[in-house]
Amino acid sequence: MRTIAREIPARRDSVEGNTRMRAGNQGNLSPAQVEQYDTEGYLVLPDLLTEQDMAPVRGALTEKVDRIAAELVAAGLIDDPLTDAPFPVRLARLFEGLAPEHFLEFGRSWRDRIAGYHTLMSNPKILDAVESLIGPEIFSNPVYNVRPKVPRIAAGAVPWHQDKSYWPDANSNPVITVWISFVDATLENGCLHVLPRTQKQKVLPFHQEEYSGTGFLTVDVEGLAAGKSRERALPVRAGTAILFNDRLVHSSTPNNADHVRWSVDLRYQPTDQDPMPEHGAGFLARSRRHPQRVADLQDWLAGRPEHADEATAPS
């Protein structure tokens, strides 16, 4: 099978090194938005996704919650799978009488292959925004997380960190996170917080936190010159996307509401970078050079990084 990154170029650690990749892009961000992303390290795209865009993802999340409810019933931990409970509260109510450990058995975040997630990762609005930042040859990085931030459960709070701490040796730059909320993300339910401009620094020393038992990595923000004082909370409506650089220091607070703060974070990078196979199988999400190679749903479900139909592949 062909692989995406046949030749990985020398490491480029500069976040300014994107100009070449942006050449010829047809993305939809304005110059001011690109400037905001470059300068501050993040960009908020309010209401990027409509209810129609979000429906396949909510369908995938519901499918997952159905599976969890069935497991809890089978284990004798609950009697009622709460099938008719509204989407934002159902998972929270399923775990209401259970311990955080019961929840953590299902993982602090999920990376299932359910069709609705592929629909999201391939959404042209998301790819148009990413194209403005890295050009039209776009690889969907294997690291994506569905985050069910459930009230009262320690795993809900994510400590200050840089995403790059999770792949310090990967020769992949830039990696862009696209974080999308599927309910309104508020101060109460634990929205994202960022330290603007911290993306311009090298990867900071990090360690594993010990409070949640989830193995989150964290950095010491008190030691960051002027870092913490610039903290910005980013409450957003459902369907809003927050794009950020994988060196931007960010966190989120615990969920003190009565419903789940559902979000999904996706990652994209140029195709000539390390595809990080040790983290799973990413896929070719957009290519103007080789559109016929873009992975479709069946390729993604099978873990193939490119479309595998040799009949349509160029020689």
Least Å from the CB of residue 161 to ligand AKG? 7
Give the shortest CB-147-to-ligand AKG separation in angstroms: 5
User: Given candidates 25, 252, 271, 273, which one binds ligand AKG under the rule CB under 6 A?
Assistant: 252
Query: Is 44 or 158 the residue whose CB approaches ligand AKG more closely?
Result: 158
The closest residue (CB) to ligand AKG is 252
Alpha helices in the chain (DSSP H): 19-22, 31-40, 51-74, 87-94, 100-104, 115-121, 124-134, 297-301
Of 151, 145, 164, 232, the residue nearest 192 (C-alpha): 232
Q: Please state the closest distance from residue 263 (CB atom) to ligand AKG, in A.
A: 5
Using the minimum distance from each CB to ligand AKG, give the nearer residue, 157 or 285. 157
Q: Which residues of 245-276 are buried (b: 16+ CB within 10 A; e: fewer)?
A: bbbbbbbbbbbebebbbbbbbbbbbbbbbbbb
144 is an interface residue for ligand AKG by CB under 6 A: no
How far apart (Å, rounded) are the C-alpha atoms in residues 129 and 48?
10
SS (H, E, C) 143-180: CCEEEEECCCCHHHCEEEECHHHHCCCCCCCCCEEEEE
Query: Residue 156 CB, nearest distance to ligand AKG (Å)?
Result: 8
Is 158 a residue that touches ligand AKG (CB under 6 A)?
A: yes
Nearest distance from residue 191's CB to ligand AKG, in Å? 8
Shortest Å, Cβ 277 to ligand AKG: 20
Query: What's the CA gap between 109 and 8, in Å, rounded?
Result: 30
Among residues 247, 257, 249, which one has the least CA distance to residue 224? Answer: 249
Interacting residue with ligand AKG among 132, 140, 141, 177 (CB under 6 A): 177
- 172 is a site residue for ligand AKG (CB under 6 A): no
- By CB under 6 A, tell whether 42 contacts ligand AKG: no
* Helix and strand numbers, DSSP H then E, in the chain: 8, 13
Q: Contacts with ligand AKG: how many residues (CB under 6 A)?
A: 11
Binding status of residue 184 toward ligand AKG by CB under 6 A: no
Largest interatomic CA distance in the chain: 59
Residues 255-274 that bind ligand AKG (CB under 6 A): 263, 265
Cα separation, 134 vs 176, whole angstroms: 9
Binding site for ligand AKG (CB under 6 A): 147, 149, 158, 163, 177, 179, 192, 250, 252, 263, 265
